[in-house]
Amino acid sequence: MSDAASQPEEVLLSQLIAHYRRLQADAADAGMSTAEYAVGTLAAVAFAGVLLKVMTSASVQSALSAVIGRALK
């Protein structure tokens, strides 16, 4: 085979290799989004727990009751 005839095959092969490497990189990052969602969900649950604890404390409940009482008068 001459160089002119084999060059398109070489270009195709290099394109296939580049495409394969991109797919491998994408597959390696596929689990990261799941881990990020898990960390985000855990942080949201922790924040909700702290918020619930603060909102159910006696001082905050009395302050909210006072604000609502003044708003209704």
The span from the CA of 30 to the CA of 13, in Å, is 26
Of residues 68 and 11, more confidently modeled: 68
Of residues 48 and 11, more confidently modeled: 48
Tens of pLDDT, residues 16-67 = 899 888 888 777 666 667 888 899 999 999 999 999 999 999 999 999 999 9
Q: Residue 32: its pLDDT value, please? A: 64
Alpha carbon 72 to its chain centroid, in Å, reads 42
- pLDDT band with cut points at 50, 70 and 90 for residue 8: confident
**pTM (two decimals):** 0.49
Number of domains within the chain? 1
Domain encompassing residue 11: 3-72
CB-based contact 54:60 (threshold 8 Å): yes
